């Protein structure tokens, strides 16, 4: 009975919170060790032209894109293939991709529960190409390029009850990162496709539970 109540609370939280999703960490995708798994904990800060204020398509709605988010991921690697899930605040997305020693291709996405535009395809996600250059066994430098459909919260202003729906915007961008063992620092620039908006992402993550070799 307890797990049923917890599940109901989780579903209600998803409904009331809408969805928030941005590109996941390139560094930690490449950092999953061979035949192992990683529990990744960290956070991301957003700076720049985030969607805050009056919703651009409806004057009674308000954009509520966050300036930061908690980042939790669980990734499993089988040979050169990686599968897992990422949690941005309470919004979950699936992750799958391929990586070699120097190159990776990461995909992520899921369907949103509520969308502010009822005619929009209720999907967020994207693809990311990653190039990594190991300096030594523990220290690595990497670069990334991504194209994504990001999600953020929109307050529909329904009598002040705090009901959030999901808004979307399309983005392309580039990034760079440094990894030392399980710790990573990452910077990313994103350019919105539909509007002249620029965003800058700063990510810090640490990976637990790694396996054997990272090659």
Q: β-strands 164-180, 139-155: how paired?
A: antiparallel
Averaged pLDDT, 123-140: 95
- pLDDT confidence band for 43 (50 / 70 / 90): very high
| Largest CA-CA distance found in the chain, in angstroms, rounded | 57
Distance of CA 145 to the CA centre of its chain: 14
Q: Which residue has the tokens 């291709």?
A: 105
Question: Which tens digit of pLDDT belongs to each residue from 88-102?
Answer: 987 889 999 999 999
- pLDDT confidence band for 54 (50 / 70 / 90): low
- pLDDT confidence band for 10 (50 / 70 / 90): very low
Q: How many CB atoms lie within 10 A of CB 114?
A: 18
* DSSP H helical ranges for the chain: 2-17, 26-30
Rounded percentage of the chain residues whose pLDDT exceeds 90: 54
Distance CA 34, CA 96 (A): 15
Determine which of 55-59, 152-156, 175-179, 180-184 has the lowest per-residue pLDDT on average. 55-59
Give yes or no for residue 206 having a pLDDT over 80. Answer: yes
- pLDDT confidence band for 161 (50 / 70 / 90): low
Distance CA 108, CA 120 (A): 19
Give yes or no for residue 109 having a pLDDT over 90. Answer: yes
Distance CA 144, CA 29 (A): 11
Q: pLDDT: is 82 or 91 the higher one? A: 82
First to last CA, the chain: 45
Confidence (pTM): 0.84
Q: What angle do CA 93, 97, 102 make, to 5 degrees?
A: 130
Q: How many CB atoms lie within 10 A of CB 196?
A: 7
| Domain layout of the chain by residue ranges | 2-208
């Amino acid at each position: 009975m307890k797990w049923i109540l917890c599940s109901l609370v989780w579903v209600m939280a998803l409904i009331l919170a809408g969805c928030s999703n941005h590109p996941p960490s390139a560094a930690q995708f490449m950092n999953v060790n061979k035949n192992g798994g990683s529990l990744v904990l960290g956070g991301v800060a957003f700076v720049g032209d985030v969607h805050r204020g009056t919703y651009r398509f409806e004057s009674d709605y308000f954009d509520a894109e966050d300036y930061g988010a908690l980042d939790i991921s669980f990734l499993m690697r089988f040979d050169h293939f990686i599968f897992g899930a990422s949690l941005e605040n309470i919004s979950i997305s699936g992750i799958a991709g391929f990586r070699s020693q120097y190159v990776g291709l990461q995909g992520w996405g899921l369907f949103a529960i509520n969308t502010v535009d009822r005619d929009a395809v209720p999907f967020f996600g994207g693809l990311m190409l990653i190039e990594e250059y190991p300096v030594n066994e523990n220290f690595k430098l990497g670069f990334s390029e991504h194209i994504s459909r990001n999600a953020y919260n929109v307050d529909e202003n329904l009598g002040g009850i705090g009901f959030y729906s999901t808004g979307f915007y399309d983005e392309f961008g580039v990034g760079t990162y440094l990894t030392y063992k399980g710790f990573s620092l990452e910077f990313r620039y994103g350019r919105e496709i539909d509007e002249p908006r620029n965003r800058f992402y700063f990510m810090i993550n640490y990976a637990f539970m790694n396996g054997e070799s990272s090659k």
